[in-house]
Structure 1
């Protein structure tokens, strides 16, 4: 079994490195992790403490070491220990946050389910816009599985109002075409919606890598559909019923 210090080192190397990130979460399933419960609890059940994340959702904190858990608890909570797999199984459906005092990782319910059932989490590569001119248009082709998979995922994301698939390429190289999934979702829920879509697509991409890159972006529905989408003349493939 990996030691606590080795796990901490792996976590540091995983930041911004999707390959190491996968290894870290696979190892996390088999090691001891720590969570908080109330100091006094007569319910006879294990009730784990949650906190309100700055983005507005409830998150259940857990920690890679007892010392980190103790520092966060102070005198307001007791510490309990599980294996990573045990904790994820008993908290299915919850959003978890690893080492929150160190700016740790959020695990959304879809990612927890993926980790438990497949041992993997969909990688997230964040690219900031380069500012270079880009071309947008209606897609010429897309994988047959794409829309059904996304519709199933988005049906469970009540914050997503509508979604589109378009294609894009740099103006300087219009042969470098990629698909772009565009989600209409409020800012506070955008990260979870994107990661839910990535999680839903990940098994299909692993089974049959498409010949075209697939990216995601979001817009705030309160601001209206952006011109780069409306100018493509495409209808949303998903729209939440009012």
Structure 2
């Protein structure tokens, strides 16, 4: 068991330094957490309350301390107490939001699965292009791991319309890397970025080079990508064949 004080300490470290996030989320599995269930539910089953954010994301809120949970419960909810691991297992497939009324963070289904199954948490770093000049070139050959690991992932995410792989270089830094460009609605871009990072981190030893990801709205291919004259390695039609009924997946 992880005490509330220890969990709070690890949370503050994670807020200050992204490198500390994996230790916090692993501790969360063994800590007491608090969720909401309907107060007058007569179904005989444990059902968790969810809500939809202004961005249209449906999340299951939970809390790291009882005070926050009771304050947010209101008149129609009751507080459910359980271990983090139990909550994630019971509602596997949901998108979780920790402490939504304070310094919240979101855990997407792919991240929860990696945490439960392998104890892994990907660290996502957001980089603004700013004034940097990047060199974009077509790849002679798309690495096999791209197809092997990202095709099934994107097939399970019907919000992804297409994905491209190009070579990227930075005039400020020697060497070259791989850039994955994904056509996905902006509201779903964070989930896709986190799911992709989670999938690739598991196979980091295979990569042999740096990997970045960028997203754009479907149907609005950026000029730099059009100029590279590359074909997508993934299209939604592929996903529909790999995952029957994928258009209905939420």
Question: Which bracket does the TM-score occupy, shorter chain normalised?
Answer: over 0.9
Tell me if the contact between 2:40 and 2:76 (Cα under 8 Å) persists in the aligned partners.
Answer: no
Tell me the equivalent position of 2:93.
93
Identify unmatched segments of 5+ residues in structure 1: none
In the TM superposition, what are the counterparts of 1:189-228 in structure 2 within 5 Å? 189-205=188-204, 208-222=205-219, 224-228=220-224
Tell me if the contact between 2:95 and 2:108 (Cα under 8 Å) persists in the aligned partners.
Answer: yes
In the TM superposition, what are the counterparts of 1:84-233 in structure 2 within 5 Å? 84-140=84-140, 143-172=143-172, 175-205=174-204, 208-222=205-219, 224-233=220-229
| SS at 2:87 equivalent | helix
- What is the TM-score of this pair, normalised by structure 1? 0.93
1:58-83 deviation digits (Å, cap 9, x = unpaired): 10000001111011113231101110
Q: CA RMSD in A?
A: 1.6
Identify unmatched segments of 5+ residues in structure 2: 241-250
Q: 1:96 to 1:132 in 2, by over 3 A?
A: same
Number of residue pairs matched? 238
- What is the TM-score of this pair, normalised by structure 2? 0.90
4+ runs deviating over 3 angstroms: 140-143
**Pairing 1:235–2:231 present:** yes
1:111-169 deviation digits (Å, cap 9, x = unpaired): 11110000111111111113222111012465431222111100011111110000111
